[in-house]
């Protein structure tokens, strides 16, 4: 017999480290497509998608089939062995990115940790003092010590010191400030292609191209964190293709295997020269189960028709959100984002709207206190958007 939500919540309160602040009082049981179902049988339209992870929704048949088949064949072997699924996944990502080498880890933080190591090791080949890494205020790069130091939000760092040295912060979209901080001691500039957790801020105008030019001027590497914005979410396979720039290193995770834990960094062949056997590694990273899943996701998302769908449905959704902004001008300050990474900034805290939507069977979330964030599965249809927009309309009306 299934346990009730109350029973599960009670167990959790007793035994699970209480680190998740805004947990909703719901235990999810299963999902199908864009819908998820809680332990008491209630249905929700899921426009959070495991925070940009379930890019193909829930129970996508080709993904279920590949994971089931691989689980039966072999879940894991160590990286002392080669596997076809790992070599395939790396080859696909290298071809799609135009970069030179891929490395698989288990999460976004680990992917970024690897990218930071790559940049430091590369710079140190020519100058041991070339170690400055510049990141953005309001960025989010993960929870390990180096990545929470890279994260330009001091509250994530509180109580964790001493932090790794060599990180400086600038305001995202302020190119003058960035230039004023750079010198030939700058090892890398690390940015999210579109800021996600920090309130959904896309780059303005030619900002990323100008960042690329500054990196070239000072011999610094450009690291783009596409853990959230990549994997087709912005309407191109890599978000940087939307903005016409090429990083030296890009990181992926969340959507990469459609829900199976994985992370990756890709780098140019030039940067890859910094790594020699023994310099980096992981037990689980890029294991057969994760790579079998990643292969299906990569193959599906890289199809031109799939990416065209993302662009189309994103334009439809954004139009509806902008119509709500026009309807509630006092309440909605701005709609922004790129593709299916969309934010609606409110003039008030967003939690009541998130709670109201959830009570009415629609899952969204809120970041930075007042930015409603939409990172749905990429397979959503117009009727899913209509359901969510109707719930949101009602919620905003009640505020
Ligand atoms: C979620 C996220 C991370 C961290 O990923 P984890 O898998 O939670 O470690 C890093 N960067 C960005 C941009 C993210 O959105």
Domain spans of the chain? 5-59+304-398, 74-301
Least-confidence region, from 1-10, 11-20, 215-224, 377-386 = 1-10
CATH topology of domain 74-301: 3.40.640
Inter-axis angle of helices 288-301 and 61-73, nearest 10 = 160
Alpha-carbon distances of 234 from 5, 65, 103, 307, 394, rounded to whole Å: 35, 27, 23, 9, 28
pLDDT value at residue 1: 65
Q: Which residues surround ligand 1 with Cβ inside 6 Å? A: 107-109, 112, 140-142, 192, 196-197, 225, 227-228, 253-254
CATH topology of domain 5-59+304-398: 3.90.1150
pLDDT digits (tens, 9 = 90+) for 279-328: 999 999 999 999 999 999 999 999 999 999 999 999 999 999 999 999 99
pLDDT digits (tens, 9 = 90+) for 129-183: 999 999 999 999 999 999 999 999 999 999 999 999 999 999 999 999 999 999 9
| Mean of the per-residue pLDDT values of the chain | 97
Ligand 1 center to residue 1 CA distance, Å?
36
Phi-psi region of 332 (alpha: psi -120 to 50; beta: other; left: phi over 0): beta
CB distance 56 to 377 below 8 Å: yes
Ligand 1 center to residue 109 CA distance, Å?
6
Residue 22 has pLDDT above 90, yes or no: no
pLDDT value at residue 343: 98
Beta bridge partners of 225: 192, 251
Q: For the whole prediction, is pTM greater than 0.95?
A: yes
């Amino acid at each position: 017999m299934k346990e009730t939500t109350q029973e599960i919540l009670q167990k959790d309160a007793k035994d699970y480290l209480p680190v998740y602040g805004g947990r909703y009082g719901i235990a999810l049981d299963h999902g199908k497509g864009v819908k998820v179902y809680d332990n008491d049988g209630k249905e929700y339209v899921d426009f959070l998608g495991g925070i940009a992870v379930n890019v193909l929704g829930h129970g996508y048949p080709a993904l279920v089939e590949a994971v089931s088949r691989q689980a039966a064949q072999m879940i894991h072997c160590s990286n002392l062995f080669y596997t076809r699924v790992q070599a395939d996944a790396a080859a696909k990502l290298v071809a799609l990115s135009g970069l030179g080498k891929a490395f698989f880890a288990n999460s976004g933080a680990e992917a970024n940790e690897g990218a930071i190591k790559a940049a430091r090791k590369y710079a140190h080949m020519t100058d041991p003092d070339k170690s400055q890494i510049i990141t953005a205020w309001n960025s989010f790069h993960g929870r390990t010590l180096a990545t929470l130091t890279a994260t330009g939000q001091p509250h994530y760092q509180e109580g964790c010191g001493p932090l790794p040295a060599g990180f400086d912060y600038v305001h995202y979209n302020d190119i003058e400030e960035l230039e004023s901080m750079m010198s030939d001691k700058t090892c890398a500039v690390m940015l999210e292609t579109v800021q996600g957790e920090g309130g959904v801020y896309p780059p303005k105008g030619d900002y990323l191209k100008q960042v690329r030019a500054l990196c070239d001027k000072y011999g610094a590497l450009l690291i783009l964190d596409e853990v959230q914005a990549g994997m087709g979410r912005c309407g191109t396979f890599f978000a940087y293709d939307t903005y016409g720039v090429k990083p030296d290193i890009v990181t992926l995770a969340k959507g990469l295997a459609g829900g199976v834990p994985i992370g990756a960094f890709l780098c140019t062949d030039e940067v890859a020269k910094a790594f020699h056997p023994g310099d980096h590694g992981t037990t689980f990273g890029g294991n057969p189960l994760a790579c079998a899943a990643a292969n299906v996701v990569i193959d599906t998302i890289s199809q031109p028709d799939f990416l065209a769908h993302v662009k189309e449905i994103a334009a439809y959704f954004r139009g509806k959100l902008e119509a709500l902004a026009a309807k509630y001008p006092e309440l909605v300050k701005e709609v922004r984002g790129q593709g299916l990474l969309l934010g609606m900034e409110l003039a008030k805290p967003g939690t009541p709207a998130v709670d109201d939507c959830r009570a009415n069977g629609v899952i969204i979330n809120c970041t930075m206190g007042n930015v409603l964030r939409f990172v749905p599965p990429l397979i959503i249809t117009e009727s899913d958007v209509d359901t969510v927009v109707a719930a949101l309309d009602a919620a905003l009306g009640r505020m």
